[in-house]
Amino acid sequence: MLKCAITSGEGWSVMEHVRRWVHEGVQYVQLREKQMEAGDLAKLAAAIQAVLRESGKTRLLVNGRPDVAMAAGADGVHLTAQVGELTVEQVRQVFQAAGAAKPVISVSCHTLFEVRHAVSEGVDLILFGPVFEKRVDGEMVGKGVGLEKLQEACNEAGNTPVLALGGVTWPRAELCIEAGASGVAGIRLFG
C-alpha cells in the first residue's frame, strides 16, 4: 500500500514527524505549507530532503512550487487540478531546463473528469477525494464522494496509481484498497 503524508501549517515542527514517517514506510511526503514564504519553504524542504535521502525510499513532493522543489533538490511537485494552475508539462519543463531528473508529479482530483485529464497529462500519482469527508481546521465542511466513486476513479486512472484522500482512517484504508486504490494520503492519518 502506497502512503503519502501531507503536511499542513506545521512549519518546522514537521521535522519531528519526518523520521517517523520514513520508519513507518511512507513513500511520499507532500510539503503543503501555504503560509510559508518561498525562501523559508525552500529551507524547510531542503532539511526534509536531507532526512529523506538517508532512507532512500521516501520521496518529497512540494505543493505547487517547482521553483522551491528545484532549489531544495526535492523529487517532485504536487499540483491541483484547478483551471489556471501549473500543468504537468510546465513542471517537467522547469525540471528539464535546470538539468534535473524527471520529477514525480502528483495531482489532487475531485471528479472523474479531473482524473481523466490528469492521466492524459501523464501524472505519476493521483490523490482522489474526499472519499469519506472533508475537514478544514478540524471542522467537517463536506461529505465524501464514497467508495463507489473512488472505484470509478481508479478504473478511469488505469495504470496510474490512485491514493484515497479525505477522512481516511487506518480501518477505512483497507476498504479503499478493496475499491482499487493503490494507497492512502492524508494529513490527520499520519499525524
Question: What are the tens digits of pLDDT across the range 117-167?
Answer: 999 999 999 999 999 998 877 787 889 999 999 999 999 999 999 999 999
Range in 52-56, 101-105, 123-127 with the lowest mean pLDDT: 52-56
pLDDT of residue 17: 95
Q: Which residues contact 11 (CB under 8 A, 6 or more apart)?
A: 33, 35, 36, 44
> Helix or strand or coil: residue 89?
helix
pLDDT of residue 118: 97
Range of the domain at 69: 2-190
Q: In the 8-state DSSP scheme, what is residue 180?
A: T
CATH code assigned at 53:
3.20.20.70
What is the count of structural domains for the chain? 1
Q: Which residues contact 101 (CB under 8 A, 6 or more apart)?
A: 95
pLDDT of residue 184: 98
For residues 51 and 83, the model is more confident at: 51
Q: What is the pTM of this model?
A: 0.95
Q: Write out the three cell numbers for 169.
A: 482512517
Contact between 125 and 111 under an 8 Å Cβ cutoff? The reply is no
